[in-house]
Amino acid sequence: MTMMGSKQRSFAPLINRSLEDLVPPDHFYRHLERTLDLSFVRQFVQETSAGIGRPSIDPVVFFKLQLVMFFEGIVRCANRIL
């Protein structure tokens, strides 16, 4: 007699949805995307970018992530969890 169990897996059908369908048209971040001009970001960080190595995260995307963290109150701490 074996003690090893097994689990039968079943998958629900996939729902074909886009992110555009899930975010309301009047959402704060949609308004921010339309009104905030981030064209300066790439030029601002150009001098600090290395010419060799692995490709980095797009600086505009990184900046947007930092804004979301700010607006949502997400704090990044190296030595503690808030």
| 38 found inside a domain | no
Q: What is the mean pLDDT of the chain?
A: 85
Q: 25 φ, ψ to 5°?
A: -60, -25
In a domain, 35, yes or no: no
Q: Is 24 within a domain? A: no
Domain count along the chain = 1
Of 50 and 60, the structure prediction assigns the larger pLDDT to 60
How high is the pLDDT of residue 40?
93
Q: Identify whether 74 is part of a domain.
A: yes
Q: Supply the pTM of this predicted model.
A: 0.65
Contact present, 43 and 60 (Cβ < 8 Å):
no
Query: Within the chain, where are the H helices?
Result: 19-22, 28-35, 40-45, 59-72
Structural domain boundaries, residue 80: 57-82
State residue 26's pLDDT score.
94
Residue 65 lies in a domain: yes
Report the pLDDT averaged over residues 11-32: 90
Is 64 domain-assigned?
yes
- Residue 66 covered by a domain: yes
Residue 51 resides in a domain: no
